[in-house]
Amino acid sequence: MTPGRRLAITLIVLLGVVTVGAAGYIVLEHLSLLDALFMTLVTVSTVGMASADLAAKLDAAGKAWTILLIFFGIGTVTIAFTNLLAMAAGGEIRRILGRRHLNARIAAMRNHIIICGFGRVGQTVCRDLQSADRPFVMGDKDPNATAFAEKLGYIYQLGDASLEQTLKEAGIEHARALVTVLPSDAENVYVTLTARGMNPGVVIVARAEQQTTISKLQRAGASRVISPHMLGARRITEVLVRPAVVDFFEMASAGVDLEMDQVQVAAGSELIGKDLRAARLRDRFHVMVVAIRRSDGQTLYNPEPGVTLAASDMLVVIGPAGASANMRRLQQVGLEAGPPPTSEE
């Protein structure tokens, strides 16, 4: 029995005893609701008959009802309170209330990322998303995995990700992306099918252990399929053939001294309608635009200075660590907040 169900049953039993006890006094003795509740609570709580005046007015039926409450009600209430104390001592009540708080946070999330699976790959993805300050929900059916996620401060959902109810509780209808990195390819296919059916516009990144599963995941609706074995083999080859290039991209990915990032031109930005030369991104933010992805899917690599920017353009930029974050923040409200031009401009 889950802690939540156990707590609910305990509270229902307590409420039932009080309700039945009060109803008995109302029917047999015609007491008011307040007097009936008072008599019931005084009796089952073993406080004693502090209501001497009311007790003196009881007839034979009322006294018989009080005796029944003493025999059956006190025992039931004692067991229920013992159960509550055990749950409180074990931290179960705190976890239940914490779960309600997490559910409320998930319900309020928009454009977040759902991570299905908390193995080695899932843990790495969650850690990187947290470092990048991206909102996400981690889901796993293993209670040990979610307990570990709770210690790390992650928002998590316990349940089978291939079930619609679990994905719904994780906010799939409002999610921007879903990553499924479960241990088996079959599970990842099921999760992809379920998620695609619930949110046709969500970006789905799926893990494939076997090369033959890649096409199945794509047919199931995966936007991107990642094979760790193939990526590892390619990285080994790159290290052997182009080590300097690998070092450069690793440094850019780490974002310590140099970073590569993407920045979207927001609606209302002053960048809209300007070409790269007029935008002066390199002068203001020390970033270099290496590619532009248009809203229609067209990608311009190494764009010319005369290329005009439009709303929703995705700019792939390279620059010092932190430059892209500053650019992302300022370009949404215009470039007036940027550093002033130099005397040479």
Residue that wins the pLDDT comparison between 243 and 49: 243
Lowest pLDDT segment from 109-113, 162-166, 262-266, 310-314: 262-266
Compute the distance between CA of residue 290 and CA of residue 315 in angstroms, rounded to an integer.
Answer: 8
- Indicate the Cα dihedral angle 124, 125, 128, 130, nearest 10°: -110
For the stretch 302-314, pLDDT in tens is 999 999 999 889 9
Confidence band of 343 (pLDDT split at 50, 70, 90): very low
Residue that wins the pLDDT comparison between 13 and 165: 165
Angle (nearest 5°) at CA 253 between 135 and 266: 55
Q: Do 338 and 329 touch, CB atoms closer than 8 A?
A: no
Q: Which of 28, 63, 59 is nearest to 43 (CA)?
A: 63
| 110-231 and 245-331 have identical folds | no
pLDDT at 338 (0 to 100): 41
For the stretch 40-94, pLDDT in tens is 777 777 665 545 555 666 777 877 877 777 777 666 766 766 766 665 554 454 5
Residue 138 in this model has a pLDDT that exceeds 90: yes
CA-to-CA separations, 227 to 42, 187, 232, 241, 248, in angstroms, rounded = 67, 15, 9, 21, 23
Architecture, CATH, for domain 3-90 = Orthogonal Bundle (1.10)
Domain edges within the chain: 3-90, 110-231, 245-331
Residue 111 zone, left/alpha/beta (φ > 0; ψ -120 to 50; rest): left
Confidence band of 254 (pLDDT split at 50, 70, 90): low
Cβ neighbours for 32, distance < 8 A, ≥ 6 positions apart: 26
How high is the mean pLDDT of the chain? 81
Confidence band of 140 (pLDDT split at 50, 70, 90): very high
- Indicate the Cα dihedral angle 264, 112, 318, 246, nearest 10°: -140
Lowest pLDDT segment from 5-19, 235-249, 263-277: 5-19
Q: Which pTM value belongs to this model?
A: 0.62
Mean pLDDT (whole number) for 174-202: 94
- CATH fold, domain 110-231, is Rossmann fold (3.40.50)
Residue 108 in this model has a pLDDT that exceeds 50: yes
Residue type, 53: D
Q: Do 162 and 191 touch, CB atoms closer than 8 A?
A: yes
The distance of Cα 78 from the centroid of its chain, to the nearest Å, equals 39
CATH class label, 245-331: alpha beta
